[in-house]
Chain A
Amino acid sequence: MKFHLKIWRQAGPDQPGRFVDYTVDDISPDMSFLEMLDQLNEQLVKENQDPIAFDSDCREGICGTCGLVINGMAHGPKLGCTTCELRMRHFPDGATITVEPFRADAFPVIKDLVVDRSALDRIIAAGGYISVNTGSAPDANSVPVPKHVAEEAMDAAACIGCGACVAACPNASASLFTAAKISQLALLPQGHPERERRVIKMVEQMDLEGFGACSNHGECEAACPKGISITNIARMRREYVRAIKNGAAAAR
């Protein structure tokens, strides 16, 4: 297969960026999108050009490292998969494909298609955990968790932290990401002692990082490679209201 690519090139965070045209040929339909870019980079190196910088690691859709906006869609046109899982057979032969980084104020570009998503780590650091020191845990079966609760918590916990929800949102909101962690820990009994404090702190951090607010577009859920439901955002809001209602003391 043959493809024409319009790829965003940007030398650094403070440099202006632009689209550059490339053509790749001899692409197998079974290749992943990133393997197609690997092949282009091999070509560029041989021509003494700087290869296109992009992030990737596991290449099986679980680490959350990769993430490109392909033809205007975070992780590309195929629903429910990451950029690394996307195969070239989903594009018509000869197509022109536009490739951009995940764009958001809170995700500054490092180079080309690589962005800095450390804001997401800081949201977790603000409270996305259960405070339990190593060695102090009771027997794992001492607290039964109903199966449907564990399953729902797992649905939320499946978030890979790629940031596609932010890239897809017209407000660049990180609500789905933040809500997924808040949901997981609010559903499980182990998370209850800190639930109020947690939601206040994490939402506060989300705002501090410069992410926008959620206005119910639902683009995040559509772009999420792991199918994290927007229901979690509703739960995050309930948790937030609950925390406020229960008083600021609990939030300290």
Chain B
Amino acid sequence: MSANASTTVVLDAKIPKGPIEDKWSNHKASVKLVSPANKRKYTIIVVGTGLAGASAAASLAELGYNVLNFCIQDSPRRAHSVAAQGGINAAKNYQNDGDSVYRLFYDTIKGGDYRAREANVYRLAELSVNIIDQAVAQGVPFAREYGGLLANRSFGGAQVSRTFYARGQTGQQLLLGAYSALMRQVQAGKVKLYPRREMLDLVVIDGRARGIVCRNLVTGEIEKYAGDAVCLATGGYSTVFFLSTNAVNSNATAAWRCYKKGAFFANPCFTQIHPTCLPQAGAGQSKLTLMSESLRNDGRVWVPKKKGDTRPPDQIPESERDYFLERRYPAFGNLVPRDIASRAAKAVCDEGYGVGATGRAVYLDFSDAIRRLGVDVIRERYGNLFQMYYEITGEDPYKVPMRIYPAPHYTMGGLWVDYNLMTTIPGLYALGEANFSDHGANRLGASALMQGLADGYFIIPVTIGDFLADHRPDGLTTDHPAFDESVRAIQDQVRRLLSINGKRTVREFHWELGRIMWDNVGMSRNEKGLKQAISDIRALREEFWKDVKVTGSADDFNKSLEFAGRVADFLELGELMAMDALDRAESCGGHFREEYQTPDGEALRRDDEFCHVSVWEYLGEDNAARRHKEPLVFEYAKPTQRSYK
């Protein structure tokens, strides 16, 4: 059960030398280049068409590379980035409120509770300004002021207004911008698009990523594709919890199978539980809906001061309400980072102050903002979110406070990458939420879109050339036996899943795994619960392979078969998450170990022992994964106890 701890492998993050503000410029000036005439001889495989995948595929094709771009959806425009609501951060300082690249860097490092790599985060802050320029040029209709210039709002974890937004559909608009750039390259013949394909294996030849094997989700055919490099932009793994804010098809399979082929997995236990989601309702529920965190700009979070108070909210007088975020964190109030807001909500509900039928919800109240700004301003800012809330609950948030509760939303952990975004497998890159790199133990709001696009538009087009310059095209085709070996392994797994014919559906196993994860590897964790989770997940995994029921055929559109493969992988990933959480005997950001807290219940970091990235290496089915460490060095943002008081 205990982790195979070792530090024998040297994880070289390849951070460029020089002062932090010069590292990226120096790097760009020194990386190797591929000449324009040679770029067209290379093929790059990009898996995923969200912000990171679409922006990477489009930008690489613009440079002249041939790109093969895959997605599980029927169209690249549907990748789950589309659902991001609130906004995207950029250090433009258009508001003259003292923002700067350094400040965005510092806020991100601090928000991540000092568990991210400084050089990466600084580069992210630096590139943030270019992303806004790019998006506006593409026709992304960001919100504007009457003078015609761009509007901004503030977001959790920041004291400046640096968030650009397009109503509550910022992710959709940025994705459609990247998608339009992608489709332009499809038309130009530089990108070949493969929708309704699920990547099921990475093909590694001579220690280098050389291709992928996919299942065609319409015909069931197992297909092979070869290339000179592979970029994985397949998102995060929040659906390991079954109920999350992610789309129902979001999954970890592509990343997990790369892990099993030798890509190390970093900080799997760093998951983000988003504070403003709709509370759980019934058993048939398929997902939890997020209400953008931007709502906390104008909404005030409260619970009744009396335990078990069942009066309707409008009958609870002001003096009997506890605005617990404003009370505990006067400097940031309702705008504390997500991990802190989520834990505070859980704490008041655990103590019996929660509201609604289940007692697992807190109010998010707009009545003050409506009085102050008028209902029209509130409608303009949040109209679509209020509408969405109304559709789901049947309650009108213009009149009654929303009821919210935290839900799994984002995973900071992911495949380990160096400064070039390359994993431990040469030629395999991970972009966006699929990598671990920039958010440490907690991601700030409006930073996911920023990171996905920085990786895809601006970083990978530079860094991949450095690798390809040394690895000239060699005419490799899918006739190489390594491809057939992968195909056979996948066909075996498909056959096995279809032949078990047990009693429990895939959904039942997923639901059960989600319950184990939420109870023990969720918002707060302890040694006993984590050990229990590890043994429960193992037992469930064993049962899955004996008793799962998958109907239909392998050669057809078959959703249960798709989901069966994903749940099989989640049953392994869940265990690694629990192992990592057990191994990290400290609290930091979204990882809260009950044994490590300050007297007033805040996360207690242990920098002496855990100021590192935990990086896991797969050692086969019968062996425990081995944990390596990448030490984190803070030269600029010196770690302090995070305080938002």
Contacts and interface: CB of A to CB of B under 8 A. Distances in A.
A170 interface: no
Most buried by B among A32, A62, A126: A62
Contacts of A248: none
The 5 residue pairs across chains A and B that have the minimum distance between CB atoms: A144-B148, A129-B180, A137-B137, A137-B133, A154-B141
Nearest to A139: B133
A188 B549 CA distance: 53
A141 B94 contact: yes
Contact of A63 (B78, B143, B282, B461): B78
B148 A130 contact: no
Contacts of A121: 75-77, 183, 186, 193, 195
Contacts of A120: 75
A140 B134 CA distance: 8
B193 to A, nearest CB: 8
Given A49-B551, A185-B139, A134 B461 contact: yes
Given A53-B559, A140-B132, A161-B75, 13 more contacts: A32-B286, A45-B560, A46-B505, A51-B560, A118-B74, A121-B193, A137-B134, A141-B94, A146-B148, A157-B166, A188-B139, A188-B141, A190-B139
A96 B476 CA distance: 57
Nearest to A154: B141
B284 A57 contact: no
Interface in B248-306: 248-249, 281-282, 284-287, 289-290
B184 A131 contact: yes
B284 A28 contact: yes
Interface stretch (A35-43, A69-77, A212-220): A35-43
B493 to A, nearest CB: 19
Interface in B74-102: 74-78, 80, 82-83, 92, 94
B643 interface: no
A243 to B, nearest CB: 18
Nearest to A146: B148
Nearest to B393: A30
A65 interface: yes
A65 B180 contact: no
A114 interface: yes
A46 B549 contact: yes
Contacts of B321: none
A178 to B, nearest CB: 14
A29 B247 CA distance: 22
Contact of B141 (A44, A59, A85, A150): A150
Contacts of B451: none
B58 interface: yes
A132 interface: yes
Interface stretch (B14-22, B167-175, B206-214, B413-421): B167-175
B552 A132 contact: no
B392 A128 contact: no
A101 interface: no
A50 B62 CA distance: 44
Contacts of A38: 284, 286, 507
Contacts of B218: 110
Nearest to A42: B505
B552 A63 contact: no
A192 B623 CA distance: 61
Given A45-B549, A58-B83, A81 B391 contact: yes
Nearest to B78: A63
B552 A65 contact: no
A89 interface: yes
13 contacts: A28-B284, A31-B285, A46-B549, A58-B82, A59-B248, A80-B387, A128-B180, A136-B137, A140-B135, A145-B144, A153-B141, A160-B172, A185-B139
A147 B180 contact: no
A60 interface: yes
B38 interface: no
A39 B284 contact: yes
Interface of B: 55, 58-59, 62, 73-78, 80, 82-83, 92, 94, 130, 132-139, 141-150, 166-167, 169, 172-173, 176, 179-181, 183-184, 186-187, 193, 195, 218, 247-249, 281-282, 284-287, 289-290, 387-388, 391-394, 457-458, 461, 505, 507-508, 549, 551-552, 556-557, 559-560
**Tier of interface size on chain A:** 35 or more
Contact of A65 (B55, B74, B167, B388): B74
A30 B141 contact: no
A141 B149 contact: yes
A210 interface: no
Contacts of A2: none
A130 B289 contact: no
A35 B285 contact: yes
Contact of A64 (B77, B92, B457, B549): B77
A31 B144 CA distance: 37
B136 A137 contact: yes
Nearest to A26: B284
A97 interface: no
A190 B78 contact: no
A64 B78 contact: yes
Interface in A122-166: 124-126, 128-141, 143-147, 150-151, 153-154, 157-158, 160-161
B141 A184 contact: yes
Given A56-B248, A62-B172, A34 B286 contact: yes
Contacts of A34: 286
Given A124-B179, A125-B186, A132 B287 contact: no
A133 B458 CA distance: 11
A135 B460 CA distance: 13
Contacts of B181: 129, 132, 134
B468 to A, nearest CB: 18
A80 B388 CA distance: 10
Contacts of B80: 57-58, 63
Given A57-B249, A60-B287, A134-B62, A144 B149 contact: yes
A50 B130 CA distance: 50
Contact of A184 (B139, B167, B184, B387): B139
A62 B59 CA distance: 25
A145 B144 CA distance: 7
Nearest to A48: B551
Contacts of B166: 154, 157
Interface in A6-54: 27-28, 30-32, 34-36, 38-39, 42, 44-46, 48-51, 53
Residue among B137, B147, B179 with max Cβ neighbours from chain A (10 Å): B137
A197 to B, nearest CB: 12
Given A62-B83, A89-B394, A134 B458 contact: yes
Given A57-B247, A87-B391, A147-B144, A157 B505 contact: no
Contacts of A185: 139
A111 interface: yes
B268 to A, nearest CB: 24
Contacts of B169: 62, 158
A141 to B, nearest CB: 5
A118 B133 contact: no
Contact of A134 (B58, B145, B180, B388): B58
A161 B150 contact: no
B41 to A, nearest CB: 20
A130 B137 contact: yes
A140 B92 contact: yes
A136 to B, nearest CB: 8
Contacts of B172: 62, 158, 160
Contacts of B388: 60-61, 85
Given A81-B391, A85-B388, A111-B557, A59 B77 contact: no
Interface in A210-251: none
B78 A57 contact: yes
